[in-house]
């Protein structure tokens, strides 16, 4: 819809037009550097882009959607004419980057009228993409292998194509099986695998897996243990880094537990603060010992990184965890609210944070005391640790499982030892 002169707000309109002009100027500066000189120079530079952005802002502000569409069509035809001229003069395909960027600049200038923040952010993103042409080309042609590109596309398809199409509704007894959540687990596992692979390539096997294990632990420590186990099984030389990563993910579990309890019931957090601190220190200490052993060994040059994503492993781990969720839901249905500790322990097999939050919520509502919530919280942590041990044995080698379980046992002993200490001290 067209805007009359009486409806114009000078300050706001001027700011939007200035932003539209700035969008064109920003992209135009980069294009001017690529334009070249002489008869073969590019068709558009800083002035053309700045004026195109301003034109888009004017069309959106005073003409509405119809005028913007007409203007975009005009800019597109002009860009196409320039491309055809360059193609005829040079004999080689000059590429369509500048022409596409010109049309996009017009549309971003128009967007500045209704969504100025989004227009500015997109303009910066476009300028960054254009300015880093060589880097993107090098990554696509040299850095990434064909297998890595294939794996990346597989991950994108799983997350962006398949996941939205999977029905998000409960199936089976008590609606305990949700296909959407199962496939979401597959995507999460692939994401954890991808984080580990990127860390391996960027930092190396000594520290890459350790860092990725800690980061992935905030997504799911249990799945991280399983993922690292499969990596240790596929590449035995990564055994120690995989063990360190698995135990490091437990540090994230403890941190998340503390955050959840602080948000749900600070009094409950105070009751379990000593056990959680000791458990976290035990996990850090065991991971540090494993890392020290890694540092004393000579780095291997022939370590195979494997694939970024192991699709079959992701599906298998997701199915196993889904089975745990179904069993947990069935047991909770049988137990009901009769036993807080037993209920938290059962729920902890699937998710220690949710189970701990439930116990803390009962303490916050006054149904149990904060001290009474401490044991259910630690029970959830204990059964969740059992789940990790099961995944370690199921996904990894025997040696991997033994070393991980030793670390998990130390963490669990530290947690319960801390609780016993608080009982003695009073």
Considering only CA atoms, which of 342, 340, 378, 333 is closest in space to residue 361? 340
Rounded to 10°, the helix 398-425/208-234 angle is 130
Residue 416 pLDDT more than 50?
yes
Could you give the CA distance from residue 75 to residue 105 in angstroms, rounded to a whole number?
10
Could you give the CA distance from residue 294 to residue 239 in angstroms, rounded to a whole number?
10
Sort residue 38 into left (φ over 0), alpha (ψ -120 to 50) or beta: left
Considering only CA atoms, which of 264, 384, 257 is closest in space to residue 328? 384
Q: Which helix (H) or strand (E) holds 418?
A: helix 398-425
DSSP-assigned letters across all residues of 142-201 = IIS-HHHHHHHHHHHHIIIIIHHHS--S-BSGGG-B-HHHHHHHHHHHHHHHHHHHHHHH
CA angle (211, 228, 413) in 5-degree steps: 80
Q: Which helix (H) or strand (E) holds 298?
A: none
Residue corresponding to tokens 């119809």: 66
Considering only CA atoms, which of 282, 284, 283, 292 is closest in space to residue 206? 292
Better-predicted residue by pLDDT, 381 or 37 = 381
Considering only CA atoms, which of 339, 380, 338, 372 is closest in space to residue 356? 380
Share of the chain above pLDDT 90, in %: 15
Delimit the domains of the chain by residue range: 5-140, 145-425
For 242-278, write each residue's pLDDT tens digit. Answer: 898 898 889 988 988 888 888 888 888 888 899 999 9
Are 220 and 387 a contacting pair, CB within 8 Å? no
For 131-172, write each residue's pLDDT tens digit. Answer: 887 787 777 777 677 777 777 888 888 888 888 888 888 776
When pLDDT is cut at 50, 70 and 90, the band that residue 291 belongs to is confident
Residue corresponding to tokens 């990894």: 396
Could you give the CA distance from residue 407 to residue 385 in angstroms, rounded to a whole number?
10
When pLDDT is cut at 50, 70 and 90, the band that residue 4 belongs to is very low
Three-state secondary-structure class, residue 116: helix
What mean pLDDT comes out for the span 91-113?
A: 81
């Amino acid at each position: 819809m067209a805007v009359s002169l009486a409806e114009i707000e000078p300050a706001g309109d001027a700011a939007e037009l200035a932003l539209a002009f700035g969008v064109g100027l920003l992209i135009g500066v980069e294009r001017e550097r690529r334009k070249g000189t002489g008869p073969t120079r590019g068709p558009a530079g800083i002035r053309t882009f700045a004026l195109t952005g301003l034109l888009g802002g004017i069309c959106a502000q005073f003409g509405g959607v119809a005028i913007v569409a007409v203007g975009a069509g005009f800019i597109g035809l002009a860009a196409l004419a320039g491309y055809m001229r360059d193609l005829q003069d040079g004999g080689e395909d000059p590429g369509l980057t500048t022409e596409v960027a010109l049309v996009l600049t017009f549309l971003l200038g128009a967007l500045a009228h209704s969504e100025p923040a989004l227009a500015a952010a997109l303009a910066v993103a476009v300028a960054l993409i254009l300015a880093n042409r060589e880097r993107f080309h090098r990554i696509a042609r040299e850095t990434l292998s064909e297998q890595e590109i294939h794996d990346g596309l597989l991950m994108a398809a799983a997350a962006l194509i398949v996941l939205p199409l999977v029905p998000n509704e409960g199936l089976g007894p008590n609606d305990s099986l949700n296909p959407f959540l199962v496939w979401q687990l597959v995507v999460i596992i692939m994401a954890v695998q991808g984080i580990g692979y990127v860390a391996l390539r960027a930092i190396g096997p000594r520290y890459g897996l350790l860092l990725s294990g800690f980061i992935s632990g905030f997504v799911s420590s249990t799945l991280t243990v399983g993922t690292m186990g499969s990596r240790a099984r596929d590449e035995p030389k990564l055994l120690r880094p995989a063990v360190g990563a698995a135990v490091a993910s437990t540090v994230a579990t403890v941190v998340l537990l503390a955050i959840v309890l602080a948000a749900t019931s600070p009094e409950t957090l105070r009751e379990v603060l000593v056990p959680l601190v000791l458990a976290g220190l035990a996990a850090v200490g065991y991971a540090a010992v494993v890392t020290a052993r890694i540092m004393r060994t000579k780095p291997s040059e022939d370590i195979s990184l494997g694939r970024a994503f192991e699709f079959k492993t992701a599906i298998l781990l997701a199915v196993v965890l889904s089975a745990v969720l179904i069993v947990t839901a069935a047991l909770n249905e049988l137990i009901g609210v009769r036993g807080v500790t037993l209920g938290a322990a059962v729920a902890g097999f699937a998710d220690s944070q949710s189970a701990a939050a439930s116990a803390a919520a009962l303490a916050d509502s006054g149904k149990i005391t904060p001290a009474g919530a401490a044991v259910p919280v630690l029970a959830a942590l204990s059964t969740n640790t059992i789940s990790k041990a099961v995944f370690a044995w199921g996904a990894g080698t025997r040696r991997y499982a033994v070393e991980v379980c030793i670390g998990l046992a130390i963490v669990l002993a530290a947690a319960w030892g801390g609780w016993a200490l608080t009982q003695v001290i009073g």
